[in-house]
Chains A and B, each alone.
Chain A
Amino acid sequence: MLKSSILGLVVLSLIVVGTGYAGSFAPGGPTAWAPWCISTGTCGALMSLMALGAVRRGRIAPVLQWVFAGMFLWCGGCFAVALALPANEGAGGTLLFGFPLRSTIVLLGVAVVPILVFPLAWALTFDSSMLSEDDLRRLREAQAAMALGNNAGGRADEVSK
Chain B
Amino acid sequence: MIALLQASLPRMTQPLIVTIALLYFAVVAVIATWATRRTKNERDFFVAGAGVGLWTLAIAKMAASLSGFSFVGGPGLVYTIGLAGVFIILPGALSNALGAWVLAKKMRLLGEARGLLTVPAAIGARYRSPAAQGLAAVGILIAVIGYMATNLLALGIVIEAIFGTSLAAGIWIGTAVILAYSVAGGILAGIFTDVFQGSVMAVSSLMVVAFALKAGGGLTHISQTIMQADAKFLGPWGNAGPITALSFFFVFSVGSLGQPNVIHKFYMLKNPRQLKWYLLLMSVALLMAQLIYIAIGVVVKALVTQGSLAPLAKADQATPMFLLHAAPVLVAGLVFSGVAAAIMATVNSFMNAGAAALTLDIPTAFGRKLSDELLWGRITTIVLAVIAAGVAQVSGTLVAFLGIFGWGLFASTIAPALAVGLNWEGATKAGAIASICTGLGLTLVGGTLGYFKIIKLPTGVDVASLSLITSLLVFFAVSWITRRNAASELDADIQLVMEA
Do the beta carbons of B96 and A52 come within 8 Å of each other?
A: no
Among B61-69, B99-107, B202-210, B402-410, the one that faces the other chain is: B99-107
Q: Which of B93, B103, B222, B246 contacts A42 (CB 8 A)?
A: B246
Q: Which of A95, A100, A115, A136 contacts B235 (CB 8 A)?
A: A100
Residues of B within 8 A of A102 (CB): 235-236
Do the beta carbons of B246 and A39 come within 8 Å of each other?
A: yes
A104 to chain B, nearest CB (A): 9
Do the beta carbons of B223 and A111 come within 8 Å of each other?
A: no
Do the beta carbons of A17 and B236 come within 8 Å of each other?
A: no
Do the beta carbons of B458 and A139 come within 8 Å of each other?
A: no
Do the beta carbons of A118 and B458 come within 8 Å of each other?
A: no
Do the beta carbons of B231 and A119 come within 8 Å of each other?
A: no
Do the beta carbons of B424 and A7 come within 8 Å of each other?
A: yes
Residue of A nearest to B233 (CB): A89
Do the beta carbons of A99 and B223 come within 8 Å of each other?
A: yes
Chain A-chain B contacts (Cβ-Cβ < 8 Å), number: 204
Report A22-80 residues with CB < 8 Å from chain B CB: 24-25, 29-30, 34-35, 38-39, 41-42, 45-46, 49-57, 75, 79
Decide yes or no: A110 and B91 within 8 Å by CB, A24-B460, A95-B223 being known contacts.
Answer: yes
State A57–B113 Cα separation when bound (angstroms): 20
Q: Does B335 reach chain A (CB closer than 8 Å)?
A: no
State A50–B254 Cα separation when bound (angstroms): 11
Q: Does B484 reach chain A (CB closer than 8 Å)?
A: no
Decide yes or no: A24 and B93 within 8 Å by CB, A99-B234, A100-B234 being known contacts.
Answer: no
Against B, the Cβ 8 Å flags (1 = close, 0 = not) of A141-156 are 0110011000000000
Against A, the Cβ 8 Å flags (1 = close, 0 = not) of B224-241 are 100110011111100000
Q: Does A10 reach chain B (CB closer than 8 Å)?
A: yes
Report B83-132 residues with CB < 8 Å from chain A CB: 83, 86, 90-94, 96-98, 100-103, 105-106, 109, 113
Q: Is the interface of B mostly helix, strand, loop or mixed?
A: helix
Q: Does B370 reach chain A (CB closer than 8 Å)?
A: no
State A98–B496 Cα separation when bound (angstroms): 51
Q: Does B476 reach chain A (CB closer than 8 Å)?
A: yes
Q: Which of B113, B227, B253, B276 contacts A89 (CB 8 A)?
A: B227
Q: Does A2 reach chain B (CB closer than 8 Å)?
A: no
Do the beta carbons of B235 and A131 come within 8 Å of each other?
A: no
Do the beta carbons of B227 and A90 come within 8 Å of each other?
A: yes
| Tally of contact residues, B, Cβ under 8 A | 74
Decide yes or no: A91 and B227 within 8 Å by CB, A24-B243, A127-B276 being known contacts.
Answer: yes
Report A99-121 residues with CB < 8 Å from chain B CB: 99-100, 102-103, 105-107, 110-112, 114-115, 118-120
Do the beta carbons of A29 and B458 come within 8 Å of each other?
A: yes
B127 to chain A, nearest CB (A): 17
Do the beta carbons of A87 and B419 come within 8 Å of each other?
A: no
Among B46-54, B162-170, B323-331, B465-473, the one that faces the other chain is: B465-473
Do the beta carbons of B102 and A50 come within 8 Å of each other?
A: yes
B453 to chain A, nearest CB (A): 18
Residues of B within 8 A of A30 (CB): 243, 458-460
4 extra A-B contacts, CB within 8 A, seeds A51-B101, A82-B236, A89-B235: A24-B461, A42-B254, A98-B219, A103-B236
A selection of 11 A-B contacts at a CB cut-off of 8 Å is A7-B426, A30-B460, A49-B423, A50-B97, A50-B101, A82-B236, A91-B227, A110-B94, A118-B96, A119-B280, A122-B276
B contacts, CB < 8 Å to A:
83, 86, 90-94, 96-98, 100-103, 105-106, 109, 113, 218-220, 222-224, 227-228, 231-236, 242-243, 246-247, 249-250, 253-254, 257, 272-273, 275-280, 283-284, 287, 419-420, 423-424, 426, 458-461, 465-466, 469-470, 472-473, 476, 492-493, 496-497, 499-500
